[in-house]
Amino acid sequence: MNDALNIDLHTHSTCSDGALAPGDLVAAAAAAGVEVLALTDHDTVAGLEIAAKHAVPLGLRLVPGVEISAAWRCQSIHVLGLWIDPADGGLRRALDSQAARRYERMRRICARLSEMHLPGDALLSAVLAHPGLPSRTHLAAALVADGHVRSSQQAFRQFLGRGKAADIAADWPALDAVVGWVRSAGGVAALAHPARYALSAGTRRQLLADFAASGGTALEVITGGNSPHTVEACAQLAVNHGLAGSVGSDFHDPNLSWNRLGRSLKLPACVAPVWRQQGL
Ligand code: AMP
Ligand code: MN
Ligand code: MN
Ligand code: MN
């Protein structure tokens, strides 16, 4: 809880790789006591309208959001766009280009799996049968369902994760371009889960400096599964780079326990809450 507000600014629905449809996500968040919720699907705003409709009778404030995939020094980096205008034409066109990149990368990953004597075409069909934009989460689930691995984690460890045989780099746009899309759509750009990237401490500081220089104004200080020690380190990073702090579960699925809705830790007092600028 943050200043008595229960706030969760990072969640996924079936419009990307989440397990709950947008309306069900909103209902689950309200039931968990969340008062301010951002829906931040990967590279799409398709769920925002229906989520907003479901939020009204529940008295839950819905923050229009998106989690955009970007590239920085050959690393995939996730940028949260919060309080965006989902109708913004420039953002719409940019997200259409992201969707095309996702379809293309998924085709290439499945072709690679075929080369490895896995049923790539059938796996691709299973991914494309999903209502959301294609994601490695869906492919991992298809690999589990077809009996090739025992768990999603194993699918990433064995095939899909960094450096593995079917790790196909997506042609994500540069970090500063993505921050620009968010800002042009009236949003606040927050760098997501800074501790999750495989970077040295010095390189991480450089990432934060570049992010701030390109117009990013917030850092996700609290994200699902972070230890208090990591939260403190991220809070220090935010302060050092003049960034506000954000809080989000990164909720995907009620069956995953590490990122439950509305269970966020308190933002350390040294960091300015990103929602304060929005009058919350
Ligand atoms: P994509 O956006 O298609 O690159 O897929 C990335 C998504 O896969 C992330 O947003 C997570 O939801 C999920 N993911 C990443 N790494 C793992 C992992 N090791 N185990 C399970 N899911 C993962
Ligand atoms: Mn995801
Ligand atoms: Mn992410
Ligand atoms: Mn996420």
| Strands 61-72, 75-82: pairing kind | antiparallel
pTM of this structure:
0.97
Distances (CA, A) of 228 to 156, 256, 260, 266: 26, 20, 16, 10
Distance 61 CA to ligand 2 centre (A): 22
Q: To which H or E segment does residue 80 belong? A: strand 75-82
Residue 153: the pLDDT is: 95
State if residue 17 touches ligand 1 by the CB under 6 angstroms criterion: yes
pLDDT bucket at 1, cuts 50 / 70 / 90: very low
Report the separation in Å between the CA atom of 78 and the middle of ligand 1, taken as the mean of its atom positions: 12
What pLDDT does residue 18 have? 97
Crossing angle of helices 201-213 and 228-240, in 10° steps, is: 50
State residue 258's pLDDT score: 75
CATH topology assigned to domain 95-160: DNA polymerase; domain 1 (1.10.150)
Mean pLDDT value of segment 197-216: 97
Q: What is the pLDDT of residues 141-161, one digit of tens each?
A: 999 999 999 999 999 999 999
- pLDDT at residue 260, as a whole number: 86
Structure-token pair, residue 266: 């308190």
Pocket flag, ligand 1, residue 252 (CB < 6 Å): yes
Q: What is the pLDDT of residues 188-202, one digit of tens each?
A: 999 999 999 999 999
pLDDT classification of 3: cutoffs 50, 70, 90:
low
Residue with tokens 């006591």: 33
The atom number, within ligand 1, closest to the CA of 153 reads 20
Share of the chain above pLDDT 90, in %: 91
State residue 151 phi and psi, 5-degree precision.
-150, 165
Report how far ligand 1's centroid is from the alpha carbon of 98 (Å): 16
Kindly list the domain boundaries of the chain, sorted by start residue: 7-87+178-278, 95-160
> What pLDDT does 2 receive?
56
Task: Provide the mean pLDDT of the chain.
Answer: 95
Asked whether residue 134 carries a pLDDT value surpassing 90, the answer given is yes
- Measured from the CB, is residue 259 less than 6 Å from ligand 1? no
pLDDT at residue 70 greater than cutoff 70: yes
* pLDDT tens for each residue of 25-42: 999 999 999 999 999 999
Question: Could you give phi then psi for residue 7, rounded to 5 degrees?
Answer: -130, 135
Amino acid identity of residue 139, one-letter, is L
Looking at the CA of 193, name the nearest ligand. 3
Burial 68-82 (b: 16+ CB within 10 A, else e): bbbbbeeeebbbbbb
Burial class (CB in 10 A: 0-12, 13-18, 19+), 143: buried
Please compute Rg for the chain using Cα positions: 18
Residue 257's pLDDT is what? 75
Q: Is residue 214 pLDDT above 60, yes or no?
A: yes
SS3 221: strand
Question: Closest by alpha carbon to 71, among 101, 100, 96?
Answer: 101
What's the mean pLDDT in 213-223? 97
**What is the pLDDT confidence band of residue 234, given thresholds at 50, 70 and 90?**
very high
pLDDT average, residue stretch 258-265:
78
Q: What CATH number matches the domain at 7-87+178-278, 3.20.20.140, 3.30.70.20, 3.40.1800.10, 3.30.2130.10?
A: 3.20.20.140
Rounded Cα–Cα distance for residues 151 and 164 (Å): 16
- Is the minimum distance from the CB of 72 to ligand 1 under 6 angstroms? no
Distance from residue 192's CA to the centre of ligand 3 (Å): 6
- Tell me the C-alpha distance between 214 and 175, whole Å: 8
Distances (CA, A) of 234 to 185, 208, 240, 268: 27, 11, 10, 10
Cβ proximity of 39 and 45 under 8 Å: no
Closest ligand by atom to 192 CA: 3
